[in-house]
Structure 1
Amino acid sequence: MRLIVAGKVYVDPKDRDRFVEAHRDIVEQARKYPGCLDLSISPDPTEAGRVNIFEYFESKEALDAWRAVAPPPSASIDIEDDQVFKHVIASSGPPFD
């Protein structure tokens, strides 16, 4: 069953771009990893300290396998708050029927 991990984290606004850049290698490697359908860690366009997280995997096994080998971020930046959740997908279809 497919999984989505999605939400937002908050960092000090002065550290946001550095936080996103510190995860660049993770995003690039994850997108090539078997079972990863998509992954994005991106700055929010309207909230200065917010970073949006989106991970889409074929299965829990694929997500767990990726997390076992995923590199750490290239810099350590404190997360002030997070609201990230894992969602199990029962079905999918076009967004506008």
Structure 2
Amino acid sequence: MIIIAGYSRYKDGIERDAAVAAFADMVGRARQADGCVDMAISADALDPERSNLFECWRDKAAWDAWRKVAKAPRLKVRATENQVNLYQSDKAERL
């Protein structure tokens, strides 16, 4: 299982919201992609400059296939900070 998680920061809430909205189509397509367990890019509930990213993929092959067709939007705003990590796990437990 592949998990990509982290956050981006923007100058203000308006730029953050524009970035989150720009990714809506890509998130919808990812959720339909083979091997996508979940994907979300959302506004942080506490910090108006922060957006959160979460992706979970069945395996690296599925994630690699998605990356070839993802076509991220060209943003009109730029993040001031990105902190995103890839995690690999061979185990998942349902809670």
Kindly provide the CA deviation profile for residues 24-51 of structure 1, in whole angstroms up to 9, marking residues without a partner as x: 0100000000011100000001001100
Backbone CA RMSD of aligned residues: 1.2
Match of 2:82 in 1: 82
Q: TM-score, normalised by structure 1?
A: 0.90
Q: What secondary structure is seen at the aligned counterpart in 1 of 2:87?
A: strand
Match of 2:52 in 1: 52
Return the offset for 1:93.
1.2
Q: What secondary structure is seen at the aligned counterpart in 2 of 1:54?
A: strand
Instruction: Give structure 1 regions of 4+ aligned residues with deviation exceeding 6 angstroms.
Output: none
2: CA distance, partners of 1:58 / 1:77: 31
Name the % identity.
34
**Which aligned pairs between 1:1-97 and structure 2 lie closer than 5 A?**
2-13=1-12, 14-73=14-73, 75-95=75-95
Q: TM-score, normalised by structure 2?
A: 0.92
1: CA distance, partners of 2:86 / 2:72: 20
Please list every run of 5 or more consecutive structure 2 residues that lacks an aligned counterpart in the other structure: none
Please list every run of 5 or more consecutive structure 1 residues that lacks an aligned counterpart in the other structure: none
Residue 64 to residue 76, structure 1, CA distance change in 2 (3 Å): farther
The one-letter code matched in structure 2 to 1:4 is: I
2: CA distance, partners of 1:39 / 1:76: 22
Residue 9 to residue 65, structure 1, CA distance change in 2 (3 Å): same
